[in-house]
Amino acid sequence: MKVILDTNVFLSGIFFAGAPGDILKTWIQGLITLIVSPAILEEYSRVGQELKEEFPAIEYSPFLELLTLHGELVDAPPLPERVCTDADDDMFLACALASGAKIIISGDKALRKTSGYKGVMVLSARDFLDTYLKEKHLTNG
């Protein structure tokens, strides 16, 4: 299953665990495929560096390296019109449309309000786990 992780989900999984961490575990186990665009990778790196300054003991760069090796990188041209109230979040929708992925996992309320746009569902980390992975017993509870 192809999914796109909003920056907050990807980095929360690394820095804070919880449901986003469970999603990263499913990816490492090969049960889902993470899709990224160059713009998303750049944002992961930039925001990850900001968090690294606040939490210096946590290493996020190995996850970025793993993502470049085992994620699917797609060229995602900008959307023809603004869809999300936060224009920066349109890159996640653009990536989904360019890759054919039908799910974006996000904790961002503005992005979640776009759920259903051109068939792309935007789910919280917990909703994704409960809806798609619960029956596989992949979470810790």
The pLDDT of residue 117 is 96
Distance of alpha carbon 136 from alpha carbon 76, whole angstroms: 31
Average pLDDT, the chain: 92
Q: Residue 88 corresponds to which amino acid?
A: D
Domain ranges for the chain = 2-136
CATH code for residues 2-136: 3.40.50.1010
**Binning pLDDT at 50, 70 and 90, where does residue 132 land?**
confident
Task: Give the tens place of pLDDT for each residue, 14-35.
Answer: 999 899 999 999 999 999 999 9
**Binning pLDDT at 50, 70 and 90, where does residue 136 land?**
low
Judge contact between 39 and 76, C-beta under 8 A: yes
3-state secondary structure of 12: helix
The pLDDT of residue 133 is 77
Q: Residue 28 corresponds to which amino acid?
A: I
Distance of alpha carbon 35 from alpha carbon 111, whole angstroms: 17
> How much is the pTM?
0.91
